[in-house]
Amino acid sequence: VTLDGGGGTIVPALIELHAHLREPGQEEKEDLASGLAAAAAGGYGTVVSMPNTSPVVDDPAIVRQLAEKAARLGFARLRPAAALTKGQQGKELAELALLKDAGAAMFTDDGRTNEDARVLRLGLEYASSLDMVVSVHAEDATLRADGVMHEGEVSEALGLPGNPAEAESARVARDIEIARLTKARLHVQHLSTARALDLVRRAKADGVPITCEVCPHHLTLTHEHLRGFDAQYKVAPPLRTSEDAAALLRGLSDGTVDAVGTDHAPHTSSEKERDLLTAPFGIPSIEVAFPLMYTRFADTLGLQKLVDLFTSGAARVMGWDAPTLEPGAPADLTILDLDTERAVEPSTFRSKAKFSPWAGEVLRGWPTLTLVAGRVAFQRGA
């Protein structure tokens, strides 16, 4: 298409099913205005925000406040996820029906790893009766312990406490069995290991109603990046081996992975400049996710598949209708410039997190225009 002299490729506006926007309570890291503007600049028309805020989003009034505020801003649409358990303490289920009525898009205790099996079973049964999906940050807290990076030869060489691959696969195995038992829709967030991915592949073959997502950082970075002791690379689950990253890419190709989610996790620069032991976990990526994935993997996956992972795949996970560009549909669309090369320049980010592990990397596939409900939510250069 050509618009006002600029060309591009029109796709449905991207759907982000996993972002930490930090409001309420941690606005020094991010807020709705900065996070949703950043999302629109990344080509996203819709964002599912995580509830590990302060206070936790376990109260219908907070869901309503977030949705109302986001609607006034006019950037990407916000669909808040609500906590599965009160205070994300993993003990007592939140008021899921009231949270759904208030507009919650899904339930999750992401950021915590502490739902016990009984609570997850009850939560899945309750959410399923409401036709809602539960998503899990699948890491066994006791195996993960105080690990700050992947447990392996690099953590041993650096003398840093490790978080083993088995902390993920053990929890994914458990959660698959609970999904099998309850027949309820379970979504596994940010898979990082070949072993856990394989468990999901087999569960899907068995007909367990499970979906999963993979993040750009687990596909493009590895534990080798921690050798410089730079806490920018500290994230949970941690960056793994190149074999894990290759396995995740195969999972995108063969349909095991349903969607790409960013796990956009903004923190302040001073927090991320601390040492590896004390810096917080998380990598911000909402403004670079599509161009990064396009530049690195369009040859392997093809444009159609890549766009599906950022749009219909994410919609399927959420139980939403597939986005469409049919006449009469709400104009949620993004124009991508697949040709122009541009380096990642964190100082220009709309996000408050103005740093990036991909800073300086030259990428293609940058969004130039994002329309949300027919209104311009982002226009490059404007």
Q: C-beta of 110: minimal distance to ligand DOR in Å?
A: 6
**Contact flag: residue 32 with ligand DOR (CB under 6 A):** no
Active-site option among 110, 244, 263, 308: 263
Contact 176, 138 (CB under 8 A): no
DSSP letter string, 62-122: HHHHHHHHHHHH-SSEEEE-B-SBGGG-SSSB--HHHHHHHT---EE-TT-----HHHHHH
Select the binding partner of residue 235 from ligand DOR, Zn ion, none (C-beta < 5 to 8 A, by kind): ligand DOR
d(CA 380, CA 382) in angstroms, rounded, equals 6
By CB under 6 A, name the one of 34, 46, 52, 334 that touches ligand DOR. Answer: 52
Distance CA 168, CA 204 (A): 18
> Which of ligand DOR, Zn ion, none interacts with 127 (beta carbon under 5 to 8 A by kind)?
none
58 binds Zn ion (CB under 5 A): no
Which residues make beta-bridge pairs with 3? 6
Window 274-293: residues binding ligand DOR (CB under 6 A): 281-282
364 CB-side CA count, 13 A: 14
Q: How far is CA 256 from CA 15, 196, 222, 250, in A?
A: 19, 11, 21, 8
Q: Which residue is nearest to Zn ion (CB)?
A: 137
Give the span between the Cα atoms of 125 and 183, in whole angstroms.
Answer: 8
263 is catalytic: yes
Q: Which two tokens stand for residue 167?
A: 């902390």
| Closer to Zn ion by Cβ: residue 110 or 151 | 110
111 binds ligand DOR (CB under 6 A): yes
352 part of the interface to ligand DOR, by CB under 6 A: no
281 binds, among ligand DOR, Zn ion, none (CB under 5 to 8 A by kind): ligand DOR
Pattern of binders to Zn ion over 118-157, x per CB under 5 A? Answer: -------------------x--------------------
226 binds, among ligand DOR, Zn ion, none (CB under 5 to 8 A by kind): none
Residue of 20, 144, 264, 352 that binds ligand DOR (CB under 6 A):
20
CB 125 within 8 A of CB 209: no
The whole-angstrom distance between residue 303's C-alpha and the CA centroid of its chain comes to 20
**137 or 150: whose CB is closer to ligand DOR?**
137
- Residue with tokens 């982000």, as numbered in its chain: 16
Radius of gyration from C-alpha coordinates of the chain: 19
Q: How many residues bind Zn ion (CB under 5 A)?
A: 3
CB nearer to ligand DOR: pick between 127 and 236: 236
Residue 289 site contact among ligand DOR, Zn ion, none (CB < 5 to 8 Å, cut-off depends on kind) = none
Residue 52 or residue 368: which is nearer to ligand DOR going by CB? Answer: 52
Smallest CA-to-CA distance from 41 within 329, 284, 314 is with 284
> CA–CA separation, 43 vs 76, rounded Å?
9
* Contact map string, positions 261 to 290, toward Zn ion, x by CB under 5 A: --x---------------------------
Nearest to 334 by CA among 306, 358, 311: 311
User: Cβ 139 to Zn ion, closest distance in Å?
Assistant: 8
110 makes contact with Zn ion (CB under 5 A): yes
Burial (0-12, 13-18, 19+ Cβ within 10 Å), 347: exposed
16: which strand partners? 47
CB of 282 to ligand DOR, least distance (A): 3
Interface residue list for ligand DOR (CB under 6 A): 20, 52, 110-111, 137, 235-236, 265, 281-282
Positions that interact with Zn ion (CB under 5 A): 110, 137, 263
Catalytic site positions: 263
